[in-house]
Amino acid sequence: MPKSATPKPVKDLNYEQALAELEGILSALENDQKSLDESMKIFERGQALVARCNELLEAAELKVKKISGDALIPFEDDSS
Partner 1 sequence: MTSLAPPARAGVCLSGKKARALVRLLILEYPRLVQPTLFASVQWTVSSLTRYVRDLLESDASLQDVWVEGEISNLSRPASGHVYFTLKDSGAALRCVLWKTSAARLGMNLQEGLAVAVHGKLGVYEVSGQYQLYADQIRPVGEGALYQEFLRLKAVLEAEGLFDGARKRPIPELPRRIGIITSGTGAALRDILNTLRRRSPLAEVIFAAAPVQGVEAPPALVAALAALDAQATDVILLARGGGSIEDLWAFNDERVVRAVVACGTPVICGVGHETDFTLCDFAADLRAATPTAAAELATRITREDLAAYVRDAGLRLATMLLNLLAAQRNLFAGLIAELRYASPERRVISERQRVDDYARRALAGLVHRVRLEAAQLKGLAQGLDALSPLAVLGRGYAVVTRKTDGRVVSRLALASAAMRVRVSDGEFDVRKS
Applying CB under 8 A, which residues contact partner 1?
A: 15-16, 19, 22-23, 25-26, 29-30, 36, 39, 43, 46-47, 50, 53-54, 56-57, 60-67, 72, 75, 77-80
Report the nearest approach of partner 1 to the CB of residue 73 (Å).
Answer: 10
In terms of phi and psi (left: phi > 0; alpha: psi -120 to 50; beta: otherwise), the region of 46 is alpha
Output the CA torsion 35→38→43→48 (10° steps). Answer: 180
Report the nearest approach of partner 1 to the CB of residue 1 (Å).
Answer: 15
Report the nearest approach of partner 1 to the CB of residue 62 (Å).
Answer: 5
CA 45 from chain centre, in angstroms, equals: 11
